[in-house]
Amino acid sequence: MPTSTASQRRAVAKAEYDAFLVACPSRQLLERISDKWVALVLAALGGDGPRPGAASGDEPRPMRFSELSRRISGVSQKMLTQTLRSLERDGMVTRTVTPTVPVTVTYELTGLGRSLQGVMRGIKEWAEGHMEEVLTHRDDYDHRQSDAAD
């Protein structure tokens, strides 16, 4: 029996970083990306549409600051700027300044950003797709709570 299969080696490589550990850098990274604004910005830049190739959804494309701001309703400019800076620093979006007047700034997903968006999209879609079910469970739970209080 082989002492090391491909999947085992991959498992070991992954085990270098373990988000279960407080001290592991990946824990902080997990914390950073587990953020609704990150999910929404990536979804916006990623086109939020179906998988690449489909015709109905919007395509991934560079977006301007104001455009993002409008798409993600309720986001403050502070949070949008902060999120974009963080994503830029981590190599997930590029920021392009065109010296028109007034200046034009566009943001676009990098390869790394697209890979993250692939998984983050799932979160947003899960939330949208399971809203009813969650709501039902909440009603049940809250009922049981008040019933128990007699």
Partner DNA sequence: CAGGATCCAGTAGGATACTG
Partner DNA sequence: CAGTATCCTACTGGATCCTG
Residues near a copy of itself (CB under 8 A) are 7-8, 11, 14, 16-22, 25-27, 29-31, 33-36, 38-40, 43-44, 48, 50, 54, 56-57, 71-74, 88-91, 112, 115-116, 118-120, 122-131, 133-138, 140-142
At residue 58, φ and ψ (nearest 5 deg) are -75, 150
Considering only 103, 111, 132, 133, the residue that binds DNA (CB under 7 A) is 103
Work out what residue 103 binds among DNA, a copy of itself, none; the CB cut-off runs from 5 to 8 Å by kind: DNA
Work out what residue 79 binds among a copy of itself, DNA, none; the CB cut-off runs from 5 to 8 Å by kind: DNA
Element (H, E) at 94: strand 93-98
What string of H, E and C letters represents the secondary structure of 4-66?
Answer: CCHHHHHHHHHHCCCCCCCCCHHHHHHHHHCCHHHHHHHHHHCCECCCECECCCECCCCEEHH
Q: Is 52 left (phi over 0), alpha (psi -120 to 50) or beta?
A: beta
Q: Is 90 in the site for DNA (CB under 7 A)?
A: no
Rank residues 23 and 103 by Cβ distance to DNA and give the closer one. 103
Name the one range near DNA by CB under 7 A: 1-9, 53-61, 70-78, 140-148: 70-78
Peptide bond into 62 cis (omega under 30): no
Closest distance of CB 147 from DNA, Å:
16
- List 105's β-bridge partners, or say none: 97
Can you give the binding site for DNA, defined by CB under 7 A? 35, 37, 64-67, 74-79, 81, 84-85, 95, 102-107
